A and B are shown apart, each in its own frame.
Chain A
Amino acid sequence: MSSSHMRSAMTRREALCRCANGFGGMALLSMLARETASGAVRAPHFPAKAKSVIFLFMDGGPSQMDSFDPKPRLRADHGKPLPFKPPTTVFNISDKILGSPYEFKKHGQSGAEVSDLFPHVAGCVDDLAIIRSMVADHSEHTAANYFMHSGSGFQGRPSMGSWVNYGLGSVSENLPGFIVLESGLIPPGGLDCFGSGFLPATYQGTLFRKGEHPIADLEPAGGDAAGQRAKLDLLAKLNKGVVKRFGEVSEMEATIANYELAYKMQKEVPGLLDLSQESEATKKLYGIGGEWTGEFGRECLLARRLVERGVRFIELLTPERRGLDRWDQHSGIEKGHRINAQSTDQPIAGLLKDLKSRGLLDSTLVVWGGEFGRTPCAQFSEKGGASDVGRDHNPFGFTMWMAGGGVKGGQVVGATDDFGYFAVENKIHVHDLHATMLHLLGLDHKRLTYRWSGRDMRLTDVHGNVVKELLA
């Protein structure tokens, strides 16, 4: 491995192999049993506040001026043209101002304003640091998704979940360190949003699907679990012979050891998925059983259970809703945003409250947001009438929020202009967000590097500043 980080922190596996000069299959296997599914635990650069991250990725791009960034000017000027020439957008066909159809109210002790799209999350506002001045680099989904995940608008760079696991390793014995809970919609750009890019494949995101068999190839395709054990036993015998014949080769011995680790992963998942151990009150808190909230509620609860099992980075995606394309309402925004909010609001609030009551929120960083926000002006659908209007993409100023994991809650950071188009105060770029997230995890974004293509690559490329205001 050619990275400075890895050089400085020898993995447990490397240490074992070097110290003992390599040794035979079974002996190594039993010692490696404490090795985890996503690489050995490594010390952070400095003491960490957060141990895990839950990224609630609202892909499609929720509208800031309809959720967390009230703009009375839009209502006052509804229907008028924007007083300035807007930048090129994807569809680039409207400049008429659209006032928000939602009502905003102050909430909590902090008095932060939240629209009636999110009544439950509004109740947690004192735990949130609402960033109203997010800025990203790309106006269309795919590049913006790659960018939000990897700090680059192109395919093939490591996702932040991969960087985090590369930096810290995973404390989860039998689960991957980067898990994406999928409920039917993969963001544009595909699974590369969660890829490990040039980092070793160990760190790639594992897709967890709905239902009983969440992970590909976790169980035998035939389903014969008893046979599996018998095969592993025969395999162990054969592999002993291989080690004798080929000599003691650390990579090959690790391959052999992986079979036992894989077997343990196989055993771990059913327990994780079994929600019968959770109380009715807990399930209700997450909205499990609710018509709109059931699905995302279950994912939020699974996210907490994954945190408890030491998984480093958990990502949730916008749930699939018939007739809606994620948060991407170029038309019918009023109804579309309402449905998406209804599906996610209570589960998210439930997650925050549950984490808090269990004392987990302090060590779990929760991040909410899309790949960009939306424009203040109306986009009319080709056929649609006035009620069918939507908003276009806007990376120049949008809202995200963070909670827990060392974040200073109960505050609003930054501001957009009167129209909510551009961030004008305390701009926080996606690179800054990444730098701050890594900081909370005890990682210096400038020191978390991997040598590739002749350069020491970083999640933040050559950019990024830790946003001190966000830190508790």
Chain B
Amino acid sequence: MDRMRWAAFLLLGSALYAQTAQELEFFEKRIRPVFAAKCMGCHGPQASPVRAHLRLDSREGMRKGGDSGPAIVPGDAAKSLLMKAVSYTDLDLRMPPTGKLSDAEIADLRRWIDMGAPDPRTAAGGLAGSRQLDVERGKRHWAFRPVAKPAAKPEMAAGEPASKRVWLRRVTYDLTGLPPSREEMASYLADSSTESDGRVVERLLASPHYGERWARHWLDLVRFAETNGHEFDNDKLDAWRYRDYVIRAFNQDVPYNQFVREHIAGDLMPVKRLSRDGSFYESPIGTGFYWFGEVLNSAVDSVKSRSDQVDNQIDVMGKTFLGLTVACARCHDHKFDPVPTLDYYSLAGYLHSTAMQEAVIDSPGRGRAIGEAAAKVPHRQERRPETSLRENDVLFASFRGGTPDGWTAQGVPDAHGAKEFVGSYTSRKFALKQLWVHVLLRGTKTDKALRERAPLRVTVVADDHKSEHFFPGGKGWEWVTVRMTKEIGRICYFEIVDRARDGYLQVDRIVLSGDEKAPPLGATAEGAPEAPVPAQPSLPPSTFAMIAMDEDPGDTRVHIRGSHKNLGEIAPRRFLRVIAGEDQTPVEPGRSGRLALAEWMASERNPLTARVMVNRIWAHHFGKGLVPTPDNFGMTGERPSNPAMLDWLAARFVESGWSVKAVHREIVLSPQYRAANLPVRRLEAEAIRDALLAVSGSLDPAMYGRSVPPYISKYQDGRGKPKTGPLDGANRRSLYIEVRRNFLTPMFLAFDYPLPVSTTGARGASTVPSQALMMMNNEFVLLCAGRWAQRLEREEPDEQARVRRMFEEAFARPAEDWEVREVAAFARERGWKEAAHTLFNSAEFLYVQ
């Protein structure tokens, strides 16, 4: 025994001796029974699991403590966590949880700790220490090992080839989400060359419908939604721009690593991708994916609300790009994967350094054009009312001297000047304390009912909810006053937005106040003649988007057991150590560090990125991934059925310059995909609706733009209920129907449309009676049946030929004679609409072979 250990032994011994018989008696009589009766259930030897890793059944356990640190400070009850817990003074730490101890028991505990916490109990079964997670060991898991490309394409069994018709219907639905037309079928059947399949695949990959189809798959991953949900289901402005961005990215075959980088840090990239027409930047739109989660409209605790948002962002980011359930490490080290809690909070640090922004993403060229056009607009008279602040007033911002400190300006903002202001201003974040907010502004009269959709407004954004608005009244300079309620004490920022081309908004100052009355205005305001508002349709349009920006960057502390009120060590921002190792370049001060994060996410050295994406593509073509759990490549996920094929595709993907279309070619032209014995699959909700429109002949192929409001039936109710859109969704493809979180389309839900709450790489394919009810009785399905029947009656006078045509349009095959007889007889008796409706209900319409 060395000297140090001797010393420790002596110290411990003396401590034991120091406990007098009297003290120990006090423990036995007054303290031990309380622990035994009230604490051992969760913190004793029988507890499973031991709550908070805290054992109260031994002297060592008490002193070592659990996740939140030592339970007691011997000799100092006031500093002891145990006393805080039993006193019930803290809202979040109240023990025992089922009810407060008696005052006498609490007094005894206090006295006992103050006397030094004499305690004869020794740890018999050892302490419940926090498990040490072995990251090095975790690297041996198949998914973390480098991609190993086989020397040749791996052999894989393939069944007998399917017929040309079956293959064409399959590949057309898979690549475009729509059925093949009769003409497409005819031309393919007529093409007997060996190149015919390749030609079809090239045609489909070049079709704009390809991007629509695969964008929708992608939107499942990022829990795409266009409203905030919660109580009032407010709009997420410009969310649709992200949807269009994804469609364009797939159609243009933007390299996947670029696409990933844009998601993580598109707003920060030194070289940003421009739109094809050169009017705006594409790259920043990718960062919209951070903001599609649920947003509370009246969070009681801003800090918790933000932690929850970050948790959802980590969850989506981890599953989407890495196929890892990183979010499991929020409260404790990941139970299965090599992701310690520290790594979780390293990622959280990036996101806590990032904020949402309603931004203008005009290209420099477009910005110049707007600036030049704006310069030609006559200046408004610069007459400003004088005003002075009172004792109760706090000047939050004045725009008289240009952009105030801490504000980010976007577009061609000129709120301080006399010129038109086009764009947006975003303030720093702050905790709002005052009951009243006064904004001195002037501008074109704006409809209050538009709320966040108003083109001209000043807004208080509380915890990312656009909570209160200040609108110009069209009467010259005026104070607009709003009483704050739910916003008080929450993390807020101001946003000034001008999207109008036929109106204007000028803001002079923003005052926070304890006074209901706004500060008095000086003489200039009264009766001062205002310059007439020049209409400015000549200004080229700006592009707005919901994107990310750096905000108050810094590292985050570990939240012990996931609680923001119990902070532990600092987690330096860095990528998951199981992939990037311990030795990572620290983040530059003043920056979020997302650029470096983006590099790791999209890196060839990160074996997950390519594997996860090729597996997703495979899964959408075959109905099941090589890894059957596409969002979970961790220990609890399933292992690849054919690891060599997975690595072959992943390697080819990277070699091709991360071309998604190259992976499609590799797959759909393979004999495996050609096989007749592929599992039969039901179409997804959107494909069913799109096929109904396409077959009936009413599909509008228009692409992009603001979403079509969803049709709201009388069976859909609740707060934030929107005005209904058209029953036929304006005949647009389903991905253009607005995704209102609280009012999702029932027909989609019946067919397993995923809730926009987290990443969904594999949708369910449930079989429930409500699907039959929907197809049999829903007014939209009947509407399509009616249109189809009308068109057929017009285009095909002969009954038999009409039936044959129906089968080709709906099922991409000729009808058999008995089918023609049955359907024609039925139609004669009950009408063609009824016949069309019956064909829509056939299993053959809903399933692909």
Say yes or no: A425 contacts B717, CB within 8 Å. no
Inter-chain contacts of B146 with A (CB < 8 A)? none
Most chain B Cβ neighbours within 10 Å, of A143, A217, A427: A217
Q: Which residues of A contact B822 (CB under 8 A)?
A: 234, 237-238
B229 lies within 8 A of chain A by Cβ: yes
Q: Does A239 contact B (CB under 8 A)?
A: yes
Residues of A within 8 A of B771 (CB): 255, 258
Stretch at the interface among B173-181, B467-475, B750-758: B750-758
Which residues of the other chain, A, contact B369 by a CB distance below 8 angstroms? none
> Are B336 and A155 in touch, CB under 8 angstroms?
no
The answer, among A139, A209, A220, A425, for a CB contact under 8 Å with B776, is A220
> Is A441 an interface residue when CB atoms closer than 8 A count as contact?
no
| Docked-complex contact B837 and A231, CB < 8 angstroms | yes
| A156 in contact with B834 given A190-B742, A217-B773, A455-B328 (CB within 8 Å) | no
**Are B772 and A453 interface neighbours, CB within 8 A?**
no
Cβ B847 vs Cβ A246 within 8 A: yes
Verify if B746 is at the interface (C-beta below 8 Å from A): yes
CA distance A164 to B331 in the complex (A): 28
Which residues of the partner chain B approach A454 to less than 8 Å between Cβ atoms? 325, 328, 336, 632, 634, 636-637
Encode B296-308 as 1/0 by CB contact (under 8 A) with A.
1111110000001
Q: How distant is the Cα of A200 from the Cα of B754 in the complex, in angstroms?
A: 11
**Interface check B842, CB cutoff 8 A:** yes
Would B298 and A90 count as touching, CB distance under 8 A? yes
Given A155-B757, A216-B715, verify A221-B98 contact (CB < 8 Å). Answer: no
Q: How far is the CA of A424 from the CA of B95 in the complex (A)?
A: 11
Q: A235 → chain B, closest Cβ, in Å? A: 5
Contacts of B768 in A (CB 8 A): 200-202, 258
By a CB distance below 8 angstroms, the chain A residues around B769 are: 37, 258, 261-262, 265
| Residues 449-466 of B at the A interface (beta carbon under 8 Å) | none
The smallest beta-carbon distance between B504 and chain A, in angstroms, is 33
Q: Residues of A contacting B297 with CB < 8 Å?
A: 142
Question: B766 and A192: CB pair below 8 A?
Answer: no
B773 touches A246 (CB 8 A): no
Determine whether the beta carbon of B842 is less than 8 Å from that of A238: yes
Smallest Cβ-Cβ distance to A260: which chain B residue? B772
Q: Is the CB of A218 within 8 A of B777?
A: yes
Task: Please report the C-alpha to C-alpha distance between residue A192 and residue B741 in the assembled complex, in whole angstroms.
Answer: 9
| Nearest-CB residue, chain B, relative to A193 | B718
- A252-B847, A426-B98 known; A191 vs B718 contact (CB < 8 Å): yes
Whether a CB of chain B sits under 8 angstroms from the CB of A41 is no
Is B654 in contact with chain A by the CB < 8 A criterion? no
* Contacting residues, chain A, for B315 (C-beta < 8 A): 453
Which of the 9-residue segments B484-492, B573-581, B693-701 touches chain A? Answer: B484-492
Stretch of A45-53, A222-230, A403-411 on the interface side: A222-230
CA separation between A119 and B522, bound complex, in Å?
A: 63
Given contacts A202-B768, A241-B816, A241-B819, contact A191 B300 (CB under 8 A): no
CB distance from A418 to the nearest CB of B (A): 13
A251 contacts the other chain (CB 8 A): yes
Given contacts A188-B719, A201-B764, A216-B715, contact A140 B298 (CB under 8 A): yes
A residues in contact with B773, CB < 8 Å: 217-218, 262, 265-266
Q: Knowing A155-B757, A249-B680 are in contact, say whether A91-B717 is a contact too (CB < 8 A).
A: no
Report if B830 contacts A (CB, 8 A).
yes
Interface string of A177-196 (1 = CB under 8 A from B): 00000101111111110010
Q: A201-B764, A209-B714 are in contact. Are A247 and B680 (CB under 8 A)?
A: yes
B823 touches A234 (CB 8 A): yes
**How many angstroms between the C-alpha atoms of A92 and B302 in the bound complex?**
14
Given contacts A186-B717, A217-B777, A265-B773, whether A195 and B755 have CB atoms under 8 Å apart is: yes
- Pair B834/A155 contact, Cβ less than 8 Å: no
1/0 contact trace for B756-780 toward A, CB 8 Å?
A: 1110000011111111111011110
- Measured CA separation A425–B767 after assembly (Å): 47
Q: Tell me the minimal C-beta distance from A448 to chain B in angstroms.
A: 19
| CB of B584 to closest CB in A, whole Å | 25
Contact B779 A201 (CB under 8 A): no
B97 touches A427 (CB 8 A): yes
For the complex, give the distance between the alpha carbons of A189 and B298 in Å.
Answer: 13
Q: Give Cα A191 to B741, complex, Å.
A: 10
Q: Is the CB of B779 within 8 A of A156?
A: no
Cβ of B715 and Cβ of A207 under 8 Å apart?
A: yes
A191 touches B716 (CB 8 A): yes
Cβ of B838 under 8 Å from chain A: yes
Decide yes or no whether A141 CB sits under 8 A from chain B: yes
Contact assessment for A251 and B765 in the assembled complex, using a CB-CB cutoff below 8 Å: yes
Q: Are B298 and A228 in contact (CB under 8 A)?
A: no
Residues on A with beta carbons closer than 8 Å to the beta carbon of B636: 454-455
Given contacts A154-B294, A228-B776, contact A201 B98 (CB under 8 A): no
Confirm or deny: A24 has a beta carbon within 8 angstroms of a beta carbon on chain B.
no
Q: Which residues of B contact A262 (CB under 8 A)?
A: 769-770, 772-773, 776
Known: A155-B755, A258-B772. A189 touches B777 (CB 8 A): no
B97 / chain A contacts, CB cutoff of 8 Å: 427, 429
Q: List 14 A-B contacts (CB under 8 A).
A: A133-B99, A140-B298, A155-B294, A188-B719, A190-B719, A190-B720, A201-B750, A221-B778, A222-B782, A231-B830, A238-B838, A242-B847, A245-B849, A252-B847
Q: Which residues of B contact A (CB under 8 A)?
A: 88, 91, 97-100, 229-231, 233, 294, 296-301, 308, 315, 319, 325, 327-328, 336, 485-486, 488-489, 631-632, 634, 636-637, 679-680, 682, 713-720, 741-743, 746, 749-750, 752, 755-758, 764-774, 776-779, 782, 816, 818-819, 822-823, 826, 829-830, 834-835, 837-839, 841-844, 846-847, 849
